[in-house]
Amino acid sequence: MSKTIIISNRLPVQLQISNGDITAIPSVGGLATGMKSVHSGGDSLWIGWSGLTDEEIPDVLAPKIDKALAEHGSSKVRLTKEEVNGFYFGFSNRTIWPLFHYFLEYSEFELSYWETYKTVNQKFADAILEKAGEDDTIWVHDYQLMLVPQMVREKRPNISIGFFLHIPFPSYEIFRTLPWRREILQGLLGSDLIGFHTYDYERHFLSSVRRLLGLEVSFNDIYLDDRVIKVDSFPMGIDYKKFHEAAHEHAQRNESQKSELQKRLDTHKKSAPDAKFFLSIDRLDYSKGIANRLKAFEYFLNKYPEYKEKVRLIILAVPSRSNVPQYKLLKKEIDELVGRINGELSTVSWTPIWYFYRSMPFENLIDLYTSCDIAWLTPIRDGMNLVAKEYIATRTDKTGVLILSEMAGSANEMNESLLINPNNFEQIADTLYQAINMPKKEQQERNGILQKRLERYNVEKWANDFMTSLVNQKEKEDVYVSR
């Protein structure tokens, strides 16, 4: 029987070794949360890096690790510490990530990173080739593995390969600055179908293919030798039911079933029923605009001082890539901003910002989504932003206001939210004011429309659309070849 092979840098679970025991904990992050529901439902194998380097895995534990991963339908690619440094912390996160998010000044063009990226991509391709049958479908994910499609294609000319990019594809003017721009495009073109979150990313990609490789492009088909490659947009959805039902279940809990966090949130709500909670949740990443949000919060409190002691900003910043210098610096900047703003504005009964630097269990995520009146998600650039969708899905009585950045891919589908430019503090302050004062009926009207859309175009539909499109493209290609 044919199967789907999902391949991404990280697996759906992360392994931890303590006292000779192995624990598998669910991975946090957009790709992992989204694909997990697809993976758990069907006949699929997920190949990726376990999160532990070869040096961290004692020989005696290797079989246990393979067994633990197999229980999650997963198989690992082995990487050394040096490979992780060059491939993941290096080329992926110091070259591609900043470049594709328009932080050109952060992007490092380092030959040794590129060399390691190629070596590691080949390791992932080899792992696929070892496991894949001729009829299997390969679905490669994200910017860490852009060379894999062509590496697999060289050995298996007829196998079906799809690729999905979870981050933005930048405009040609940005992309052309990359020294290995042609190699990256050629790597991606090993796929039969290349998917992006939005039509804009798709157009940017096609423009780069046309201008850098001079290939024939007709609508969204690329002609390369005897192959036709389709490029399309598939805006990723969420597991709507999971979030919506979790919120319903949450609302029915009695006092003893509530988490400590929820009890604290309830106490504050009771003591100040008119107070509003703003929520900000992201990985701690410069693309997410957390520092800007803090500055804009201060700006808002200066412009509308009547809201001092009446609003509170809850920030959940999930640790991410802390080995990369820019992330270390950002952490320091955020710590300082939170300290300064709280120091200057706090009163005996009010701390304006609650700041959590950690990853929280799913249950606490639901506590935050359901307790906060306003979700304030204003990345500088974001491929999609699933948190915005999750917040809306948990609002079972349809109240709540979402303030969303125009620069997030999700803004295209979430027009009923309050869209802002994350660099415009004046607009942000006025939008926060508008959100605080939005009548309940208007909130419910906006969220009702959003919820219907998110429920219909959920993550399962997203994955099915991608897979159906891949099958159709393969058939179209076969007809083209046999002409």
Residue numbers at the binding site for ligand GDG (CB under 6 A): 28-31, 33-34, 166-167, 236, 281, 283, 316, 318, 359-362, 365, 382-387, 390
Q: Could you give the angle at which helices 240-251 and 440-456 cross, rounded to 10 degrees?
A: 140
Query: Whole-number minimum distance, CB 385 to ligand GDG, in Å?
Result: 5
Query: Whole-number minimum distance, CB 388 to ligand GDG, in Å?
Result: 8
In this complex, which beta carbon is closest to ligand GDG, that of residue 353 or of residue 368?
368
296 Rama sector, left if φ>0, alpha if ψ -120 to 50, beta otherwise: alpha
The answer to whether 462 touches 413, Cβ cutoff 8 Å, is no
For residue 380, what are the CA distances in angstroms to 177, 221, 377, 383? 20, 31, 10, 10
Tell me which residue has its CB nearest to ligand GDG.
30
In this complex, which beta carbon is closest to ligand GDG, that of residue 159 or of residue 194?
194
In this complex, which beta carbon is closest to ligand GDG, that of residue 209 or of residue 388?
388
Phi–psi pair at 3, nearest 5 degrees: -135, 170
The residue written with tokens 């039902």 in the block is 245
Tally of helices (H runs) and strands (E runs) in the chain: 18, 17
For residue 155, what are the CA distances in angstroms to 122, 186, 202, 204, 382? 12, 15, 27, 29, 34
Query: Whole-number minimum distance, CB 167 to ligand GDG, in Å?
Result: 5
In this complex, which beta carbon is closest to ligand GDG, that of residue 175 or of residue 345?
175
Query: Whole-number minimum distance, CB 391 to ligand GDG, in Å?
Result: 9
Query: Whole-number minimum distance, CB 107 to ligand GDG, in Å?
Result: 16
In this complex, which beta carbon is closest to ligand GDG, that of residue 202 or of residue 382?
382
In this complex, which beta carbon is closest to ligand GDG, that of residue 83 or of residue 285?
285
The answer to whether 6 touches 39, Cβ cutoff 8 Å, is yes
The residue written with tokens 């910017």 in the block is 143
In this complex, which beta carbon is closest to ligand GDG, that of residue 92 or of residue 186?
92
E strand intervals along 385-470: 401-405, 418-420
In this complex, which beta carbon is closest to ligand GDG, that of residue 117 or of residue 143?
143
Query: Whole-number minimum distance, CB 20 to ligand GDG, in Å?
Result: 27
Query: Whole-number minimum distance, CB 37 to ligand GDG, in Å?
Result: 11
Q: Supply angle C-alpha 320, 38, 192, rounded to 5.
A: 90
Query: Whole-number minimum distance, CB 371 to ligand GDG, in Å?
Result: 15
Name which of 201, 204, 229 is nearest 217 in CA terms.
229
The residue written with tokens 């990359």 in the block is 178
The answer to whether 314 touches 372, Cβ cutoff 8 Å, is yes
